[in-house]
Structure 1
Amino acid sequence: MGTTLEVKSLDNWINTKSKPLIIGGPCSAENKEQLMATGRAIAKSNKVDVFRAGIWKPRTRPDAFEGVGEEGLKWLLELKKETGLKTTVEVATPEHINSALKYEVDILWIGARTTVNPFSVQTLADSLKGVDIPVMVKNPLHPDLKLWIGALERINNAGITKLAAIHRGFYTYDNKPFRNLPMWEIPIELKRIIPSLPVICDPSHISGRRDLLASVAQKAMDLSMDGLMIESHINPSIAITDAEQQVTPDSLSKLLSKLIIRKEFGSAEFENLLEKLRFEMDQIDHDLISLLNKRNDKTRLIGEYKKENAITVLQIGRLRKMMEERLEFANNLNLDKTYISKLLQLLHKESIRIQTNIMQE
């Protein structure tokens, strides 16, 4: 899958205090006192570039707190004028966009519950035509890279070139210990497909709890993510929404101070050695692919032999024995069991596909 977006780098649409871009603020704007106190404390830390606050909250149940609405935008504008912090809010309807623009919000973001619906995204894209404002698009709730890219394309096609993606993790039935599984391979693939697109990580929604925030944020930095969006509340214990994943402004400042920001490139000596190691790894990969091809050749012979003798493709006893033996062998080499198990499942799936095709010839 390939795609081309006309995207400006972060440096072209926001002056960050440092690398990476840091977005912080409460999950929800609950009242003016809470928002102003949180914003002032965050501004005082001098570590946050953009202040976030949920003005409209898309909730699962209709009786849940759904945000203070446009009144909260007035508080955000007041905070912006007082502290100089840029502001960002989630928008889900054209009316939200109009209100945000009216109160001089600097950056808009599209939430996961909206990204999942192409009709909703297109409606927002139509409303953004002719508007020069940065837009960030969160990944959809479930792991669908094409859907995420499609949402980004719709916004970009509307003329928005100040564009970024937000990785907030993905919902599955077994997310432990996370609220939403990071599935880092998906944002990495997004960066591979669209290298110019800034990708910001949202450790708060991935973690769902304060004690995991630092490790998720650090991993995001180690994977060259372009920024972080972390929820912060002046008193998280009484927060109306997502209390467990919010931290105080002071805790946020300490978390950010402890982050290790690594360089993407090193010295000439380092790069030369790295290139040598990568060359050796490339050769190993080529050998692996050649071995996979040989394995498929043997699979075809087995499939033809089974067909000649009217034997079923799937043989559970053989599968169990193969998995047990290979996993034991891998364990003796100190290879990760989950990694090898997934690899073996892929190999077996391909064997089933090849043999099934032979049976149907």
Structure 2
Amino acid sequence: MKLNLNIQPLNTWLTVKNEPLIISGPCSAETEEQLLTTAHLLAATGKVSVLRAGIWKPRTRPGEFEGIGSIGLEWLKRAKAETGLPIAVEVANAKHVEEALAAGVDILWIGARSTVNPFTVQEIADALQGHDVPVLIKNPINPDLQLWIGAIERINRAGITKIGAIHRGFSSYEKSSFRNEPMWELAIQLKTLCPELPILNDPSHICGNRELIPYISQKALDLDMQGLMIEAHIDPSTAWTDAKQQLTPAALAELADRLTIRDPEVQNEVSADKLAEMRKSIDKIDDILMQKLGERMSIVEKIGEFKRDNQVTILQVNRWDSILQKGHAFAKALKLDLNFTEKFLELVHSESIRKQTEIMNAGKADKGIAAEQHSELKA
């Protein structure tokens, strides 16, 4: 089901100087000199369309640098006047919104720590009532698509139609090369639900280190994201926050030059016909896969009935181990990714267990409710 949002296309409210769209600037505005020097260097690259800087910095623990505060807005105003770049800041409450708008900030963004809290988002939405300012909404810290959608809807219902989303990755307990797991599938789901919603990628926060930023940036563009928000600093080694994930303006320019921009649609008619033919083949195979999954689940139901009638447990660990070993062997032979194969088998196995559990316990829930009602009547 598509989301019912009133959103203006990105190109109607933001001028992109050079594809891809890049929003860049320091993680934190530290000093006026640091911010202005960075801004001029970024503007000189010709690659940056919007200057960003953190003014108020929500930190995990107190005592860490929590942003320079409102004075940073004056520095940003000067940077805008001198470079001609629109400016963007993060807002986390109504007071931030009021001060940013009064300072002439062009774009606001809502951070992951705010998106996760509907009360905070609603406070920001209320403060935005009656204003025509673009708002970008980062995904929440935890992988919850509904929270992300809810934040977008709240801002949209406040009358804001210049809206975009920022995919910055999600927290995970699993060890990884990334600071925040990309979990691309959630961004893809959001795009599917609202195709007109511009989605930018924040490789700085996904990676947590500058070495991986080119890889994530290219992948984001290949997934048809509309642009990138990348942190840049005149001297990242001395940055007061997130030093490892910031680029120098020169490195940012080099990265932008090396990115490949691909069209979302095939332009050549002959090539388009060839692609359409291959997609038809995939559709046929998908139909067969779904049919076979349906046949498999029919047998699963019969197995569930057999186990119920013969008092056999649903799970047999040896059987599952056998399925995995066979799956790994097939994956290698067919040159399928082992991780993908295992996840696929786990999904199918999980659904099989769910169906068998349903069959094994059919009627028990109803009996339990009836017994409870009978007990209440007696009481």
TM-score range, shorter chain: over 0.9
Q: Deviations over 1:26-48 (max 9, x none)?
A: 00000111101100100111110
Q: Distance in 2 between matches of 1:285 and 1:320?
A: 27
1:61 alignment partner AA: R
Indicate the SS of the match to 2:160.
coil
Aligned to 1:159: 159
Q: Distance in 2 between matches of 1:329 and 1:32?
A: 60
Aligned to 2:64: 64
Question: TM-score normalised to the size of structure 1?
Answer: 0.99
CA contact (8 A) 1:115 1:140 kept: yes
Alignment of 1:119-198 (within 5 A): 119-198=119-198
Q: Deviations over 1:167-223 (max 9, x none)?
A: 000010125100001111111111110001000000000010010000100001111
Aligned to 2:3: 3
Q: Distance in 1 between matches of 2:66 and 2:220?
A: 30
Q: Deviations over 1:233-263 (max 9, x none)?
A: 0000000000000010000000001100011
Indicate the SS of the match to 1:23.
strand
Aligned to 1:278: 279
Offset of 1:341 from its aligned partner?
A: 0.2
Unaligned segments of structure 2, at least 5 residues: 363-379
Q: Distance in 2 between matches of 1:321 and 1:172?
A: 30
The alignment status of 1:204 with 2:204, answered yes or no, reads: yes
Indicate the SS of the match to 2:204.
helix
CA contact (8 A) 2:26 2:38 kept: yes
Q: Distance in 1 between matches of 2:253 and 2:327?
A: 47
Indicate the SS of the match to 1:302.
helix
CA contact (8 A) 2:38 2:233 kept: yes
The alignment status of 1:249 with 2:249, answered yes or no, reads: yes
Q: Deviations over 1:125-147 (max 9, x none)?
A: 01100000000000000111111
Indicate the SS of the match to 1:254.
helix
Unaligned segments of structure 1, at least 5 residues: none
Q: Distance in 1 between matches of 2:144 and 2:320?
A: 30
Offset of 1:326 from its aligned partner?
A: 1.6
Offset of 1:264 from its aligned partner?
A: 1.6
Alignment of 1:1-361 (within 5 A): 1-266=1-266, 267-361=268-362
CA contact (8 A) 1:116 1:147 kept: yes
Q: Name which one, 1 or 2, has greater alpha-carbon Rg.
A: 2
Indicate the SS of the match to 2:291.
helix
Indicate the SS of the match to 1:56.
coil
Q: Distance in 2 between matches of 1:157 and 1:55?
A: 26
Offset of 1:311 from its aligned partner?
A: 0.4
Q: Distance in 2 between matches of 1:221 and 1:243?
A: 25
% identity of equivalent residues: 52
Structure 1 residues 13-22 or 29-38, which shifts more? 13-22
CA contact (8 A) 1:175 1:181 kept: no
Indicate the SS of the match to 1:335.
coil
CA contact (8 A) 1:203 1:217 kept: yes
Offset of 1:2 from its aligned partner?
A: 3.6
Q: Which runs of 4+ in 1 moved over 3 A?
A: none
2:277 alignment partner AA: K
1:196 alignment partner AA: E
Q: Distance in 1 between matches of 2:254 and 2:326?
A: 48
Q: Deviations over 1:13-68 (max 9, x none)?
A: 01111333210000000011110110010011111000000000000011000001
Q: Distance in 2 between matches of 1:175 and 1:212?
A: 16
2:334 alignment partner AA: L
Question: TM-score normalised to the size of structure 2?
Answer: 0.94
1:250 alignment partner AA: A
Q: Distance in 2 between matches of 1:307 and 1:98?
A: 64
Indicate the SS of the match to 1:305.
helix
2:94 alignment partner AA: P
Q: Distance in 2 between matches of 1:319 and 1:210?
A: 41
Offset of 1:272 from its aligned partner?
A: 0.5
Q: Distance in 1 between matches of 2:137 and 2:82?
A: 28
Indicate the SS of the match to 2:7.
coil
Q: Distance in 2 between matches of 1:314 and 1:341?
A: 18
Q: Distance in 2 between matches of 1:332 and 1:280?
A: 22
CA contact (8 A) 2:18 2:46 kept: no
CA contact (8 A) 1:204 1:231 kept: yes
Q: Distance in 1 between matches of 2:342 and 2:158?
A: 44
Indicate the SS of the match to 2:173.
coil
Over 3 Å counting, the alpha-carbon distance change for 1:150 and 1:175 in structure 2 is: farther
CA contact (8 A) 2:110 2:135 kept: yes
